[in-house]
């Protein structure tokens, strides 16, 4: 059976997309644990859920089918053997730090094994508090020292950013090795969903990357610009080794992807992934952070291609516009600045993911309503902007593109 995945574009009309509605995991964020969980603030869950529901409606407004990750995972874990294997893998990935790790593992497994799939999925995403599981131990002091950490299994509050753990490239899937421990378990959900959910399990899906690699790569850095071209961010969370390994795997599978533009971006929080500073709006229109525009003719760009001997060759470039025009065979190209190019407005709206738009079709994008300066600028360039509420969703430092994992678009191979 052929692959159910079809992504050869950032802007082709959206057909199917996977998202996750924030749940109790958000309520398990607390001030002392913000940094470890990669959050800067604590969203109001009830408001965040309402905003996410509006976001889902926006995705559906142009005819796309919205699939919820928890529904897919629940269906995938219906078989008892599959469910138990998932629990074991999940606990192992959770890197228990308790001094009696084996004993804690046993207690956690027994606590989870009899749960129905739906309850299990929600529990593991929400996190397992120590007060929920009574672990009998002969050791007293280690428990007292370890008492400041309230979880046996940490919550996964970043789960609503479904973009990062796995990426669809053409007809294949990249299972991404997440850079931070707080997010490593997210990829496991996608592996079990694609292996065991009936939508995917009987299909021939090329695997173009594996999360067991030592080198991190995250979906927010991977942009599928055309049928033969990727752009991948060299960022704080994606390594050059991972980019080259991915490209080599694509070529070994005879993928239509013939070239990768590796784009070096600053390794800091506000520039977390490439899609936080650069996204595609239409065939020849992109939105960018002004800091990128200022150096657009003096960047570190590396084009990976394959020579006649099937060896990787790298060509270094410095001009972003000319590189994109050449690789995408465009005569004209427009870079539209976040915040209308104004320093303060751009910095403020960049912090709230002003450039992290998500295309439903060429020239039609979803964006956070709070970034009104940027949105008005996009409209002045002829872009149809569907604005969604964002006061709470934005606190996770991710925007509409971050919250989506598109699995099928029209106008593709």
Instruction: Report how far residue 273's alpha carbon sits from residue 265's, in angstroms, rounded to the nearest whole number.
Output: 8
SS3 128: strand
Instruction: Report how far residue 21's alpha carbon sits from residue 69's, in angstroms, rounded to the nearest whole number.
Output: 8
What are the angstrom distances between the C-alpha of 111 and each of 24, 83, 106, 153? Answer: 19, 13, 9, 12
- Write down the residue that tokens 């509409």 correspond to: 400
Q: What are phi and psi of 146, to 5 degrees?
A: -85, 0
Instruction: Report how far residue 357's alpha carbon sits from residue 336's, in angstroms, rounded to the nearest whole number.
Output: 12
Q: Confirm whether 402 is a catalytic residue.
A: yes
Q: Which residues contact 13 (CB under 8 A, 6 or more apart)?
A: 62, 63, 360, 361, 362, 409, 410, 411
Q: In what order do the strands lie in the sheet with 14-19?
A: 65-68, 14-19, 405-409
List 402, 403, 405, 407, catalytic entry: 402
Instruction: Report how far residue 11's alpha carbon sits from residue 319's, in angstroms, rounded to the nearest whole number.
Output: 23
Of the candidates 66, 60, 38, 49, the residue with the CA atom closest to the CA atom of residue 393: 49
Going by the DSSP 8-state scheme, the letter that residue 31 receives in this structure is: G
With beta carbons less than 8 A apart as the criterion, state whether 111 and 202 touch.
no
Going by the DSSP 8-state scheme, the letter that residue 394 receives in this structure is: G
Q: What is the 3-state secondary structure (H, E, C) of 147-216?
A: HHCCEEECCCHHHHCCCCCEEEEECEEEECCCCCHHHHHHHHHHHHHHHHCCCCCCCCCCEEECCCCCCC
- What's CA 75's distance to the chain center, in Å? 22
Which are the catalytic amino acids? 402
């Amino acid at each position: 059976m052929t692959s159910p995945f079809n992504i050869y574009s950032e802007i082709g009309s959206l057909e199917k997309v996977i998202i996750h509605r924030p749940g109790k995991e958000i309520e398990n964020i607390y001030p002392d644990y913000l940094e470890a969980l990669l959050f800067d603030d604590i969203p109001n869950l009830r408001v965040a859920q309402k905003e996410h529901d509006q976001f889902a409606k926006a995705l559906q407004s142009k005819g796309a089918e919205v699939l919820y990750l928890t529904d897919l995972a629940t269906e995938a874990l219906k078989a008892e053997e599959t469910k138990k294997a998932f629990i074991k893998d999940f606990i192992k990935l959770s890197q228990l730090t308790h001094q009696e790790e084996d004993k804690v593992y046993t207690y956690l497994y027994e606590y989870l094994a009899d749960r129905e799939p739906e309850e299990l999925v929600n529990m593991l995403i929400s996190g397992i508090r120590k007060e929920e599981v009574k672990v009998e131990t002969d050791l007293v002091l280690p428990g007292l020292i370890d008492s400041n950490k309230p979880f046996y299994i940490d919550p996964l509050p970043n789960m609503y950013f479904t973009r990062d753990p796995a990426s669809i490239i053409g007809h294949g899937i990249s299972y991404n090795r997440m850079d931070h421990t707080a997010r490593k378990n997210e990829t496991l959900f996608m592996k079990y969903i694609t292996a065991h959910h009936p939508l995917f399990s009987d299909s021939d899906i090329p695997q173009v990357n594996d999360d067991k690699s030592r080198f991190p790569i995250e979906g927010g850095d991977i942009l599928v610009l055309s049928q033969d071209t990727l752009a991948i961010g060299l960022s704080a969370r994606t390594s050059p080794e991972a980019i080259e390994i991915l490209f080599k795997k694509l070529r070994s599978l005879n993928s239509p992807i013939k070239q990768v533009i590796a784009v070096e971006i600053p390794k800091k929080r506000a520039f977390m992934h490439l899609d936080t500073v650069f996204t595609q709006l239409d065939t020849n229109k992109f939105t960018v952070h002004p800091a990128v525009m200022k150096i657009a003719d003096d960047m570190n760009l590396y084009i990976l291609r394959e020579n006649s001997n099937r060896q990787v060759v790298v060509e270094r470039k410095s001009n972003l516009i000319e590189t994109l025009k050449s690789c995408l065979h465009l005569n004209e190209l427009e870079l539209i600045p976040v915040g209308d190019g104004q320093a303060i407005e751009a910095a403020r709206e960049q912090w709230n993911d002003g450039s992290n738009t998500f295309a439903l079709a060429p020239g039609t994008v979803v964006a956070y309503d709070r970034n009104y300066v940027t949105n008005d600028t996009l409209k002045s360039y002829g872009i149809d902007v569907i604005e969604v509420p964002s006061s709470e969703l934005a606190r996770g430092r991710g925007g509409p593109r971050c919250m989506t994992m598109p699995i099928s678009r029209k106008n593709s191979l």
